[in-house]
């Protein structure tokens, strides 16, 4: 049950006029994008620009008010049971870890494997131990989240996300609650997943990391994708004034 270090994944993602309101606030305003290969898509932009909301729609956690999304030419239907099946194929890591505080690190990983993905207790334990060992977390397998450092908690959350063998990984500001040393631990883990060839979408304010890990960068502001392109194009030759002004501010110091 070893995890392959050379995943052959090529995922196509299309967003077509995705809109989302919360009350009177328009959070996503006709978001459209077409990516023949996702690989590593990093979303940047000012706070409140719609990045996290878009990620939650990608994860199937909230529905758009209008618009549609297709993955590998298959439409994602925002209704059960289709949506439930979609969620099973997406690994999501949040900034606040979202671990069960009353469960050990090991049990945080095995529970969804058993309850959602139908693995037996022994198969779930085997898969969880394999992943914990791979990421130097096995010594912490019996610890509850309160006994772990922030970096360890986030690495367990990432281990839980990849344990389900998802077709797509989503990271929502995975280092925002961490100090620099713990941030480095988590970013190294994400970098390793990238080297495997995994497809993922990452929301981050870490511009250096975004620049180093992304294959493609999307800039979101005011609920719209104002820029979408390669790292070199977005960071060095942005075509939108909003993106150019944002990068000038955040890269100034």
Residues 77 and 174 in one domain: yes
Q: For the whole model, what pTM was predicted?
A: 0.90
Give the rounded percent of residues in the chain with a pLDDT score beyond 70: 96
Closest alpha carbon to 166 in 60, 89, 61 = 89
pLDDT value at 183 more than 90: no
Q: How far apart are CA 132 and CA 16, in angstroms?
A: 38
Tell me the pLDDT band of 154, cut-offs 50, 70 and 90.
Answer: very high
Residues 17-58: tens digit of each pLDDT: 999 999 999 999 999 999 988 889 999 999 999 999 999 999
Domain span holding position 160: 101-166
Residues 156 and 175 in one domain: no
Tell me the pLDDT band of 182, cut-offs 50, 70 and 90.
Answer: confident
Other Cβ atoms within 10 Å of 253 Cβ, number:
4
Q: How far apart are CA 4 and CA 1, in angstroms?
A: 9
Residues 78 and 113 in one domain: no
Residues 116 and 154 in one domain: yes
Residues 50-76: tens digit of each pLDDT: 999 999 999 999 999 999 999 998 999
| CATH number of the domain bearing residue 4 | 3.40.50.300
């Amino acid at each position: 049950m070893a995890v392959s270090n050379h995943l052959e994944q090529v995922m196509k993602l299309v967003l077509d006029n995705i809109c989302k309101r919360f009350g009177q606030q328009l959070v996503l305003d006709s978001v459209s994008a077409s990516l023949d290969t996702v690989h590593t898509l990093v979303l940047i932009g000012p706070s409140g620009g719609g990045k996290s909301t878009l990620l939650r729609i990608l994860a199937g956690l909230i529905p758009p008010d209008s618009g549609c999304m297709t993955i590998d030419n298959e439409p994602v239907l925002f209704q059960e049971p289709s949506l439930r099946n979609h969620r099973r194929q997406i690994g999501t890591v949040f900034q606040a870890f979202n671990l069960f505080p009353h469960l050990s690190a090991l049990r945080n990983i095995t529970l969804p494997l058993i309850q959602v993905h139908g693995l037996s207790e022994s198969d779930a334990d085997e898969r969880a131990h394999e992943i914990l060992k791979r990421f130097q977390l096995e010594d912490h397998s019996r610890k509850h989240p309160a006994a772990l450092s922030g970096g360890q908690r986030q690495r367990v959350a990432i281990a839980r996300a990849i344990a389900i063998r998802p077709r797509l990984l989503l990271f929502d500001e995975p280092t925002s609650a961490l100090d620099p040393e713990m941030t480095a631990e988590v970013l190294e883990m994400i970098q390793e997943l990238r080297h495997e060839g995994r497809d993922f979408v990452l929301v981050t304010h870490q511009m250096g990391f975004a620049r180093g890990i992304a294959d493609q960068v999307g800039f979101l502001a005011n609920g719209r994708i104002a820029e979408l392109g390669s790292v070199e194009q977005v960071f060095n030759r942005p075509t939108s004034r909003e993106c150019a002004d944002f990068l000038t501010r955040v890269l100034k110091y």
